[in-house]
Structure 1
Amino acid sequence: MNTTYTNYASDEDVALLSPSDVGPLFPDDQLIAAGTDGSFDPSDRWTLHSSSVTFTDSGLCPGHVVRLIAPVERFRSPGALFGVAEVAAHSVKLRRLGMASGLGEPVAPPEGLTNVSFLIMTLDPQISQASREVDALLGIRTTSPSLPGLDGISLRDAVVRLVLARRYAAITRDGDTAFATRARLFEASFERLMTRLIISENLIHPDRIPRLGTRLIR
């Protein structure tokens, strides 16, 4: 029996849709790596170096998001977000979110940068769970979607919206009501997208779509 599932989205996909909320959205106990000794050489203003962190041992890989939080005069609160282009033992080449490596303004100024503080959190567990549930709702349950007309972009968008709806709802339950509206917006967006996918592909009867408030958001 095949029990391996494809993750249809990444941390970067989530960050692109809600960049200003990455701090609270990513749980504190899902830390990949952190440091205060980061630096950028003038000769390579895209590559973050850290002697205290072994990035390859931490599991860092493309799809994760690096948040630079200091020096604050360079990276204003809540920090600057970057995607991962390449990973080495004590360095990680960054890129602008959603952009190819090397495009846009480099991370560091021409003279380089030292005393850089960074955080790398992940939503991998939530993304995996959401991917499995989208699989189940669409009747895929394989490592490679084979249903006609079903594309990876739609699956990615569905998973991102489900993850965000759940995370905003969880933060709201913890006492922060500011995110309640966002939870409802992403919940409704996920339902609309799934309804469209199910009806357009004739995968299952629309009546089988569960209400998020009663089943999927928990």
Structure 2
Amino acid sequence: MNARPGQRTFLQGFTHYFPDQGCRSQAASIELVAPPRGGRIEQRREFKVLSGKLDQTGGSIDVVDGCEAVKKDSMSIYYTARPDFSGLDTLSVAVTFGDGSTVPYTFRIKVADVERRQAPAVTRAPAPRDGDPGRAAQTAREAPAERAASTGDFLRDTVRHATPTSRPAAAIAPPKAAGTTETDAPIPQPPAPRAMMPPPSPRPPAMPQL
């Protein structure tokens, strides 16, 4: 049986039916014995047309009994391989039918190797020639950096060739008027002491009264 990575593949449906009773059917039960190593399985109960029977190795056996085109109550198995898996995968189940019998089945699934997309290699573009529009775009991108470098060089050259200038002389106080010297300036005097009132005169002694 063939499958593709990442795609769900129908393996088989299992049912127990009676051709002599109008193709009456009953879904079987499935037990997983050995899971697949490269994917996963899914069980689904559904009415499905099953045109044959299976042997113990999962091979199909054609049976002509008048129920080939009749949808039967069945338990189906679906297999999905991992997207990164390829090669041979196997799984084993034990199927119990309506009459009580249990039959083991082994499925061998060949998963195709799908070509995986690869990212394109990054190549270095050749240097554009003069007159090439790509050269103009590259020049436009490099222009800010060149302008910044030119401005820095200009400032450094200006500082390097600048001539230092002397500092301006300190401001000189205006000359004093002729005939005046520092000693002629009036000397501040301390304030005059305040006048104090004379002390009160002593009172005359008291006279005896009659």
Between Structure 1 and Structure 2, which shows a larger proportion of strand residues? 2
State TM-score, norm by structure 2. Answer: 0.21
State TM-score, norm by structure 1. Answer: 0.20
Bigger radius of gyration, 1 or 2?
A: 2
Between Structure 1 and Structure 2, which shows a larger proportion of helix residues? 1
Q: Which has the higher contact order (CA 8 A, sep 6+)?
A: 1
